[in-house]
Amino acid sequence: MADKVYIEFPARIVIIGFGSIGQGVLPLILRHIGIQPSRMLIIAADDLGKKVADEYGVKFLQQALTRENFRRILDVNVGRGDFVLNVSVDVSSVALVKYCWERGAMYLDTCIEPWAGGYTSPTITPAQRTNYALRESALALRGGTSHTRLPTAIITHGANPGLVSHFVKQAMLNIAADLGVEAAPKKRAEWAKLARQLGVTTIHIAERDTQMSGIPKRSNEFVNTWSIDGFVGEGSQPAELGWGTHERNFPRDGKRHEAGCGASIYLMQPGAATRVRTWTPKAQNFMGFLITHGESISIADYFTVYDSMQPVYRPTVHYAYHPCDAAVLSVWELQGRNWDMQASKRIMMDDIVSGIDELGVLIAGHKKNAYWYGSQLSVEEARSLAPHNQATSLQVTASCLAGMVWAMENPNEGLLEPDELDFRRMLEICSPYLGPVVGEYTDWTPLSDRERLLPEDVDKSDPWQFKNVRVF
């Protein structure tokens, strides 16, 4: 399985962006997709990854793609049957999807990106800065139909968003089996009905990264285990969460969207300044950042049950992220600088000396309280499995690979989100790179062990109310 070629690909692959994820996915592509390096091209705004590209004999073009130049640069490199993998920042996902369809090429990205400045422009409102708005702009490309004969374009398929949507489905089936509920859902409505039948009210994308560097974080330096620009960009956006139908306490700083699917809300503060309580098997209970992510919206939307066009069931869904300790210190420093980026940036890679990235989904509210399902990948195992990777990057790059293979196997499916893909095929491809994949029940709730500290306004009738999860 580790060296299996899943599909022969006779056309070209263009990778846009070549940071930690681009460098980590390249050896996986060459290992599992039948393509010669001579038919690949990397386009990146800087030359930090050129050494890795040269190692594999892949052509490297140092050029930042902009609204003005992207067509001219891509026209000679992208054509019918080709594949564009977008792992960049500041390059519009919507523009690239439309372009790929014009050229007859397939596409995959790990998040929906706007053009440079799209998160920070003073001319746009907080609602327009949300991932909800970005998702709606991408889904609008469907033109009212979910499937067309256009080339397959998969959006938001990294670890999260992406892989975690497949974890959710497998976890739902595991819970159903343990509760004696017969379940064989195939269509979207059947999955939503199952979640409702199980009594699921809350889904946390619960992640704790414990990787440590042998080099301490310095003052005026931002350190992380993946794209710093990407992390700061999404951390500076408003906090967002899928808003469940069981919720009785709308946040004082919460806002609803005036158009679109209505599956989520946003808060009038950045995600990197918003903390929530969650749980994973190894870390146990901890506080994470409520960083906006596409899966918070797409999962909530996917598992909605409608009656006469009105939502009658929907779980609350959000990210609960405790990055590596150096990144936490970097975020606190960034906040103290009034969100003025530090002068120096460092992505931990070869300097990591220990730790794991425990990434999974905590599904709660059912008869067994809560169930976490996910990956507990250590840095040592990640390095043994694939070059130019650590625990965080490999969870993302394996999912990128799986999405690319699925798209090549299904090349004419139009625009798709992770929730609409074959989760079994995705997990089959990803699993060899995820380390231990475990499921564990817990009796922990956001109110556990807090009796002497509880404020008067907690909702003791339902521990999984968001007001109990949020840290004030």
- Identify whether the C-beta of residue 375 lies closer than 8 Å to the C-beta of residue 166: no
pTM for this one? 0.97
d(CA 135, CA 113): 10
Helix then strand count (H, E) for the chain reads 14, 26
> 166, 137, 140: which is closest to 421 by C-alpha?
166
- Identify whether the C-beta of residue 170 lies closer than 8 Å to the C-beta of residue 373: yes
Instruction: Classify the C-alpha dihedral 433-435-440-446 as positive or negative.
Output: negative
Range(s) within the chain of domains with CATH label 3.30.360.30: 163-392+434-471
Best CATH choice for the domain 7-154 from the list 3.40.50.1220, 3.40.50.850, 3.40.50.720, 3.90.550.10? 3.40.50.720
- Identify whether the C-beta of residue 157 lies closer than 8 Å to the C-beta of residue 294: no
Full DSSP string of 48-77: TTHHHHHHTT-EEEE----TTTHHHHHHTT
Task: Give the single-character DSSP code of 217.
Answer: P
Q: What is the pLDDT of residue 147?
A: 58
Q: At what angle do helices 20-32 and 391-409 cross, to 10 degrees?
A: 50
Q: Is the peptide bond before 161 cis (omega within 30 degrees of 0)?
A: yes
> 167, 229, 249: which is closest to 439 by C-alpha?
167
d(CA 424, CA 428): 6
Q: Where are the alpha helices (DSSP H) in 119-266?
A: 131-139, 163-179, 188-198, 228-236
The hierarchical CATH code for the domain 163-392+434-471 is: 3.30.360.30
Which residues in 447-460 are b (16+ Cβ under 10 Å) and which e?
beeeeeeeeeebbe
Q: What is the pLDDT of residue 453?
A: 74
Task: Give Cα 345 distance to the centre of its chain.
Answer: 22
> 403, 437, 431, 377: which is closest to 174 by C-alpha?
437
Q: What is the pLDDT of residue 121?
A: 73
Q: Where are the alpha helices (DSSP H) in 8-130?
A: 20-32, 50-55, 70-75, 93-103
Range(s) within the chain of domains with CATH label 3.40.50.720: 7-154
3-class secondary structure, 26 = helix
pLDDT in tens, the chain (472 residues): 568 999 999 999 999 999 999 999 999 999 999 999 999 999 999 999 999 999 999 999 999 999 999 999 999 999 999 999 999 999 999 999 999 999 999 999 999 999 987 776 778 899 999 999 999 999 999 986 655 689 999 999 999 999 999 999 999 999 999 999 999 999 999 999 999 999 999 999 999 999 999 999 999 999 999 999 999 999 999 999 999 999 999 999 999 999 999 999 999 999 999 999 999 999 999 999 999 999 999 999 999 999 998 999 999 999 999 999 999 999 999 999 999 999 999 999 999 999 999 999 999 999 999 999 999 999 999 999 999 999 999 999 999 999 999 999 999 999 999 999 999 999 999 999 999 999 999 999 999 988 777 776 788 889 999 999 999 8
Task: Write phi, then psi, for 374 (nearest 5 degrees).
Answer: 175, -165
Residues 6+ apart with CB under 8 A from 194: 172, 176, 181, 183, 185
Torsion of CA 166, 172, 174, 179, to 10 degrees: 180
Q: What is the pLDDT of residue 412?
A: 96
d(CA 189, CA 182): 16
- Identify whether the C-beta of residue 102 lies closer than 8 Å to the C-beta of residue 40: no
